[in-house]
Structure 1
Amino acid sequence: MKRFSLKLLLVMVMAATFSSISLASEGQALDKAQQAEQHRCRRPGVDCVFEKVEAYVETRYGVASLPALTPPTANYVYASQSGETVFISSAGPEILTGSGGFLKGELPTLSLATAQEAAMLSCVRGLRFLKSTIGDLDLVEHIVMVTGTVNVTPTYDDVTSGPVVGALGKTVDGCSDFLVEIFGPEAGKHARSSGGKVALPFNMATEIELIVEIK
């Protein structure tokens, strides 16, 4: 009787173990399926990351597609690749609605929200520069570095003059937050430099430069 009880106990333990393994495997399979669904492209022929950029812009501005880039007008390129590293030229905050142009102005005249929007729009344009060079934003392994420059008045002081203390860094948050939204925290978080400059080209509110590692 005792031997029978031990055998029964052993069978029950093994059954419980296999059941746990099966549930864990099913859970992992479900997680992978959910991740695949999250990253699934809605349209064939468009890389998934760029599609996320388009969806972000469409939700925010009601713009179904991003405008085509015009070629640079001087002796430079939008992005330059060296091995697995891509250096992206400074990008301004292109307005995506109406007649276009660039979002203009300087701190402290601009509100923080408008300055952050300018940084985000600069970042969107920078990713378009990148796509024009590598063809597919799904190739991005990691956003390595962001350099943000904010247009300021000659007497601007980041402690006493801005709409808030530390407005220069908070402005560039508009770009950083957007990159993490698009690429996720692992690939999207980056090293960063932010600063102010009196007079940017075309009186643009911000300029963003990116360094990106690709696969």
Structure 2
Amino acid sequence: MTPEQKLTELGLTLPEVVKPVAAYVPAVRTGNLVYTSGQVPIVEGKPAATGKLGAEVSLEQGYEMARICALNGLAALKAEVGDLSKIVRIVKVVVFVASDPSFTDQPKVGNGASELLGEVLGEAGKHARSAVGVAALPLNVPVEVELIAEVA
């Protein structure tokens, strides 16, 4: 089953690539690696949620926002390489979580992105990861995710 077929089976659709909000491009390929810019939880041109984890945003909402970020990252990867089947492996995922100072469950938020990548890409979706708390993110979104993928 191709990753695109797996997305359909999961009831998901790749969105249009999120337009950059500043001076950068959504993804860059160098050799057999593709680096995505930070992907935020934009749905139909608007943030799906705003605020900080542990304050205005629950852990469950943060997990869902990380899934949206990963889906947006897959859209950026596909736009760069043409076909998600060309992904050999997701090498690294970095998850930034806008956090209230008392919030310490950044890894649980990051699982939203990691688990989506595993569901869609299977073994190729297993990756190294960092999940860090930050004071604020662009557009006041709660989560931002970067992907590094090895491609054929």
* Fold-level similarity (TM above 0.5): yes
The 4+ residue runs of structure 1 with deviation greater than 2 A are: 50-58, 65-75
| Structure with the larger strand share | 2
8 Å contact 2:40–2:69 — kept in the other structure? yes
8 Å contact 2:106–2:131 — kept in the other structure? yes
Corresponding position: 1:108 with 2:54 = yes
Q: CA deviation at 1:72?
A: 3.1
* Residue in 1 that maps onto 2:74: 127
The number of aligned residues is 150
8 Å contact 1:49–1:137 — kept in the other structure? yes
Deviation per residue, 1:32-59 (Å, 9 max, x gap): xxxxxxx1xxxxxxxx31342344344x
Give 1:14-163 correspondences, 5 Å limit. 39=1, 48-58=2-12, 65-69=13-17, 71-72=19-20, 74-95=22-43, 101-102=46-47, 103-109=49-55, 110-153=57-100, 156=101, 161-162=102-103
Which AA in structure 2 matches 1:75?
Answer: A
| Structure with the larger helix share | 1
Take 1:73 and 1:53, find their aligned partners in 2: how far apart are those partners? 27
Structure ranking higher on relative contact order (CA contacts 8 Å, 6+ apart) = 2
Deviation per residue, 1:147-204 (Å, 9 max, x gap): 0000113xx1xxxx23xxx4111100110111111111x2111000110111100001
Corresponding position: 1:191 with 2:128 = yes
Give 1:203-214 correspondences, 5 Å limit. 203-214=140-151
TM-score by length of 1: 0.65
Q: Give the percent of matched residue pairs that are identical in Structure 1 and Structure 2.
A: 37
TM-score by length of 2: 0.89
Q: CA deviation at 1:94?
A: 1.9
